[in-house]
Amino acid sequence: MIQQIYPQVQHNYQFELNKDMHIAAAHYIPHEDAGKCQKVHGHTYFVNVTIAGDDLDDSGFLVNFSSIKKLIHDRFDHTLLNDHTELFSEKDPNYFPTTEGMARAVWEVIQRELDTKANKPKCVQVFVRETPTSYVVFRPKQKEEQQ
């Protein structure tokens, strides 16, 4: 069982769910500033996704936990993250599968799916721990802040 304490995100939604996952994946950072991380290496990532909303779907879920796992774990587990070009290098030539890039990619995959739901839940935070001492939190900006 994963037992972590995650930073809390402030929101005004009635419901909040969190899904934890382990993802074993390899990557490399093709940039001179990456040092030894320019070489292929792997991590067991600990990922926590926070989804919030006010309305439940027809089955009584904000989002079904298993659908989150299918979206993220099934997509990234036991892969080379650099191969996910649709989420990394094709999107932005400076967007590498760093921990920051991974957190943003997880959010994009989840939010794209949530946008199809009638109850319109929102992914409000993605936490990605790469090592026991290093992690990243990604929180999307509010629409008014993005403009």
Query: Is 130 one of the catalytic residues?
Result: yes
Choice among 37, 73, 108, 113 that is catalytic: 37
From the candidates 22, 31, 41, 78, which is the catalytic residue?
78
- Find the catalytic residue in 27, 84, 123, 130: 130
37 is catalytic: yes
3-state secondary structure the chain: CCCCCCCCCCCCCCEEEEEEEEEEEEECCCCHHHHHHHCCEEEEEEEEEEEEECCCCCCCCCCCHHHHHHHHHHHHCCEEHHHCCCCCCCCCCCCCCCHHHHHHHHHHHHHHHHCCCCCCCEEEEEEEEEECCEEEEECCCCHHHHC
Q: Which residues are catalytic?
A: 37, 78, 130
